[in-house]
Structure 1
Amino acid sequence: MSSRNNTEQSNTASGAQIAMILLGILVTPVLLASSSLGSQLTLGSAAAVIAVGSLILTVLAVINIAIGEQARLPTYGIVKYSFGSKGAIAINVIMAISLFGWIAVTANMFGHSVHDLLATQFGLELPVALIVALGCVIFVASTAFGFEALGKVSKFAVPIIVLLMFVILYMALTASVPLVEKVSDLSFGAAVSSVVGTIIVLVATSPDFGSFVHNRKHAVLAGILTFGLAYPVLFLVGAIPGSMTSEGSLLSAMAIIGSTLPAAILLVFACITGNAGNMFQGTLVVSTLFTKFPKWQLTVVLGILAAIVGSMDIMAWFIPFLLFLGIATPPIAGIYIADFFINRRNGYDEACLQQDPAIKPMTFVAWCVGSLVGFCTVNGWFTLSGIPSIDSLMIASIGYFLLTRIGQSKGSALTNNG
């Protein structure tokens, strides 16, 4: 018990500090998704959708960050207990791909945002590939020095991001823009799904940050501050220009409202904080696959690969990529949440990993079923909750619970027969 208390006192962060880092990461996806949502809904409908989606995310984030605090392990360490020490490698590969996808997409967005900013404001034309490479140097420098450096980057950049968001809000509300009638047939469930799906991967991997938090109260505080307060406010602010102009991107909306300068600067800062966090999480996951290399070297390699891929025309892949993440990642969270409540409420004992099978096939069955249900509901073949990412999470969670109970009853029957 004393060692846990010592852990809480040293090398940990407050709930507010964790919220600041999470906020820096989620701004980029919010800016991508909020304008698109706003362009298809009236402001009242968008507000209701954002409120429901944020409530779902808050509940999941509080649970997941608290699991990280309990385990004092990142997500890849936690999934070993439910998937097996060897089975977890497959899950870590999927998480590594998803995180690298976000790193490359954000690097691409950084390159185009800075290019447009320099071209429109200063008449300076630089190759996008060069700007992407310079951006990746910044992302690597913000990450290679560990969690403490990530916190410092967020403390500097997040207040600027929040200020710019409210500058944009003020400009939008004081502009005389003719309201455009909405013609979208986007359903309430699909709209909520976009709010949830935008950031579900960060919520699913939030034990990474819970492992650094002071204690359980701070874990709960981090989840509420990030997803119960900051996320809905930022999403709504980002949706307002899109709702007013029916433009699907923030820069296009602000061009109609008056000036793209605040939006362009905002995108640049959002990319820096977002990719610093993505790099941090990506390094954690990749380090489990390449254990012989120091983490800083893996960060540098991720930066080089991101500079190459981010220089390509990858935004056409973005929607399929988000759909893949929204289907494959939530079931992982559903399984380790169920495993926590069934088996780990008293803690994560490393001795269990030695005794348990290295690969747990039934867990993969639960994950595949959850992913399959998510794939079916996202394609409209049938409907459960109306939110595909939540469908896949819940089915995987229930499936894991049932398969675990069946396995335990078979085990006890064998023991009794023996």
Structure 2
Amino acid sequence: MSSRNKTDLSNTASGFQIAMILLGILVTPVLLASSSLGSQMTLGTAAAVIAVGSIILTVLAVINISIGEKARLPTYGIVKYSFGSKGATAINIIMAISLFGWIAVTANMFGHSVHDLLATQFNLDLPVPVIVAVGCVIFVASTAFGFEALGKVSKFAVPIIALLMFVILYLALNSSVSVAEKLSDLSFGAAVSSVVGTIIVLVATSPDFGSFVRNRKHAILAGILTFGLAYPVLFLVGAVPGSITSEGSLLTAMAVIGTTLPAAILLVFACITGNAGNMFQGTLVVSTLFSQFPKWKITVALGILATVVGSMDIMAWFIPFLLFLGIATPPISGIYIADYFINRRKGYDEASLENDPAIKPLTFVAWGAGSFIGFCTVNGWFTLTGIPSVDSILVASLGYVLFSRIGTSKDKLATNKA
């Protein structure tokens, strides 16, 4: 695989453009998670939680987007250096399943949101599978023409999403609904973990977008604008209706406040931008597994599969599976970050892949250790930092550094004996 030419800036984007695309993708998970967080906490505590979570995400995103800029490779190209050229295939399969899972869930959410909107506002009762199919046509059309088309979709939709978020905030703050008592006692660490975990998979795969960014300054700007500024604002705004009503769903909370129309329209737009981004990343990953097919055919195939799976009643059994993948993905990020700092600060040399083992078993041990620790801490068996996804990243990073040192020492010994 060849990296994109670092001197060719004709197909690069500014930090602001990258931030707009990332925002379009993250709005759907934010809307799902922020209402739930708000329903369990007072606004003051929620604000502190969101601030801490956003700082963690900003640091990780700035590093990861900068790594993508340095390598001029998407995430699947970067993981080859730490997992081996063949070992990376297993990682790409996990990322492909994770991304397709979110494509299907978002398609399902789009179908139900549009169905409810048409039923309540226009007395139209269209079958959900038909709406899901129409949605998938929109998602494919937004993605099949490449990165530039994705940018145009976000440029159009993100301002509308932001406007609708603040309309919802205004309606919530000016409603006559009295603030409901919080029944759940969510710990600060678990709450921060939900803020981080909501979007950690996107952060772990953000080199996909870093490979298109203009330069290092724009990479840093994209990370700060997205996760240091816009993400906490959107998360806090999304938490307000839930905090006032103690309802865990935005639509349900707005129904209590008195109007669901802005929330329903917001969910529709969020699904379109979110799934356009998911399709873009999904196409990149799947194309490494089926390199004989052109990317547009892979996008269309993903759209057809998403139509079938998204039309099913998948939420009950699919979300726990995606949460599992959310534990398995962050350690991948921890490993390629560690690999960058100890091995790749001068760049990613493709020739080195030919000299390295095709599969690096010790890297998989580090990844497995990170995933296991994340699984243990998310289930409350013990705690390290109090944030499971951060625990898994740290353990995987430290494991990779340790195993790399052991490997280097063995190589030196073999050289001296020779």
TM-score category, normalised to shorter length:
over 0.9
Shift of 1:185: 1.6
Q: Residue 316 of structure 2 aligns with which residue? A: 316
Q: Residue 242 of structure 1 aligns with which residue? A: 242
Could you give the per-residue CA deviations for residues 196-236 of structure 1, whole angstroms, max 9, x where no partner exists?
00000000000000000000000000000000000000000
Check whether the contact 2:73–2:211 (CA below 8 A) recurs between aligned residues: yes
Q: Residue 383 of structure 2 aligns with which residue? A: 383
Q: Residue 332 of structure 1 aligns with which residue? A: 332
1: distance between equivalents of 2:411 and 2:6? 36
1: distance between equivalents of 2:282 and 2:319? 20
1: distance between equivalents of 2:55 and 2:184? 24
Check whether the contact 2:94–2:325 (CA below 8 A) recurs between aligned residues: no
Is the aligned partner of 1:132 residue 2:132?
A: yes
Q: Residue 357 of structure 1 aligns with which residue? A: 357
2: distance between equivalents of 1:42 and 1:321? 30
1: distance between equivalents of 2:28 and 2:43? 21
1:365-380 to 2 correspondence within 5 Å? 365-380=365-380
2: distance between equivalents of 1:306 and 1:225? 31
SS in 1 for 2:7: helix
Is the aligned partner of 1:252 residue 2:252?
A: yes
1: distance between equivalents of 2:277 and 2:379? 31
SS in 2 for 1:6: coil
Q: Residue 176 of structure 1 aligns with which residue? A: 176
2: distance between equivalents of 1:6 and 1:326? 35
SS in 1 for 2:382: coil
Shift of 1:359: 0.4
Taking only aligned residues, the RMSD between alpha carbons, in angstroms, comes to 0.9
* Letter of the 1:6 counterpart: T
Shift of 1:183: 1.6
Q: Residue 7 of structure 2 aligns with which residue? A: 6
* Letter of the 2:159 counterpart: P
1:147-296 to 2 correspondence within 5 Å? 147-296=147-296
Q: Residue 145 of structure 2 aligns with which residue? A: 145
Shift of 1:58: 0.1
Q: Residue 99 of structure 1 aligns with which residue? A: 99
SS in 2 for 1:185: coil
Shift of 1:321: 2.6
* Letter of the 2:214 counterpart: H
* Letter of the 1:174 counterpart: N
Alpha carbons of 1:184 and 1:296: their partners in 2 closer, same or farther (altered >3 Å)? same
Could you give the per-residue CA deviations for residues 285-337 of structure 1, whole angstroms, max 9, x where no partner exists?
00000010000000000000000000011111244134212210000000000
* Letter of the 2:289 counterpart: L
Q: Residue 41 of structure 1 aligns with which residue? A: 41
Could you give the per-residue CA deviations for residues 329-380 of structure 1, whole angstroms, max 9, x where no partner exists?
0000000000000000000000011110000000000000110111111111
1: distance between equivalents of 2:325 and 2:218? 28
Alpha carbons of 1:335 and 1:220: their partners in 2 closer, same or farther (altered >3 Å)? same
Q: Residue 88 of structure 1 aligns with which residue? A: 88
Tell which deviates more after alignment, 408-417 or 394-403.
408-417
SS in 2 for 1:203: helix
Structure 2 unpaired stretches of 5+? none
* Letter of the 1:138 counterpart: I
2: distance between equivalents of 1:14 and 1:341? 25
2: distance between equivalents of 1:343 and 1:334? 14
* Letter of the 2:366 counterpart: A
* Letter of the 1:245 counterpart: T
2: distance between equivalents of 1:151 and 1:333? 25
Structure 1 unpaired stretches of 5+? none
Shift of 1:413: 1.0
Shift of 1:10: 1.3
SS in 2 for 1:178: coil
2: distance between equivalents of 1:130 and 1:195? 33
Tell which deviates more after alignment, 133-142 or 312-321.
312-321
2: distance between equivalents of 1:263 and 1:247? 14
Is the aligned partner of 1:109 residue 2:106?
A: no
Check whether the contact 2:5–2:72 (CA below 8 A) recurs between aligned residues: no
Q: Residue 297 of structure 2 aligns with which residue? A: 297
Could you give the per-residue CA deviations for residues 14-36 of structure 1, whole angstroms, max 9, x where no partner exists?
00000000000000000000000
Check whether the contact 2:65–2:206 (CA below 8 A) recurs between aligned residues: yes
Q: Residue 78 of structure 1 aligns with which residue? A: 78
Shift of 1:258: 1.5
2: distance between equivalents of 1:207 and 1:280? 13
Check whether the contact 2:101–2:322 (CA below 8 A) recurs between aligned residues: no
Q: Residue 15 of structure 1 aligns with which residue? A: 15
1: distance between equivalents of 2:323 and 2:138? 29
* Letter of the 2:240 counterpart: I
2: distance between equivalents of 1:27 and 1:323? 18
Could you give the per-residue CA deviations for residues 124-170 of structure 1, whole angstroms, max 9, x where no partner exists?
00000000000000000000000000000000000000000000000
1:52-71 to 2 correspondence within 5 Å? 52-71=52-71
Shift of 1:4: 5.3
2: distance between equivalents of 1:95 and 1:260? 34
